[in-house]
Amino acid sequence: IAELVTGTDSPRTDLPWVGHRSRKWEPEPLRWLGVNAGLWMAGGADRAEARTDRPARRVDWLNRLLR
């Protein structure tokens, strides 16, 4: 750490993980999770409505979420 603070070059400060900057994480995994969670909830609501012949409560929650 002292070498980094003072700006001294050494074999340790030249290691590939010293000062490494990761790329920004792309939002695609979040989009995938959101779409699949919505499909899963809608499918479950459809199955519940088919079983009970009543509107599923999660449909109201999903509608409020999507507004």
Task: Render pLDDT for 3-36 as a digit per residue (tens, 0 to 9).
Answer: 888 988 889 888 888 888 888 877 788 888 988 9
- Token pair in block for residue 37: 């969670």
User: Using an 8 Å Cβ cutoff, are 59 and 45 in contact?
Assistant: yes
- Domain ranges in the chain are 2-66
**What pLDDT score was predicted for residue 2?**
85
What is the C-alpha separation between 7 and 14, in angstroms, rounded? 11
Amino acid at 38: G
Q: How far is CA 35 from CA 11, 53, 65, 66, in A?
A: 47, 26, 13, 12
**What pLDDT score was predicted for residue 50?**
93
- Token pair in block for residue 28: 């695609």
pTM of the shown model: 0.49
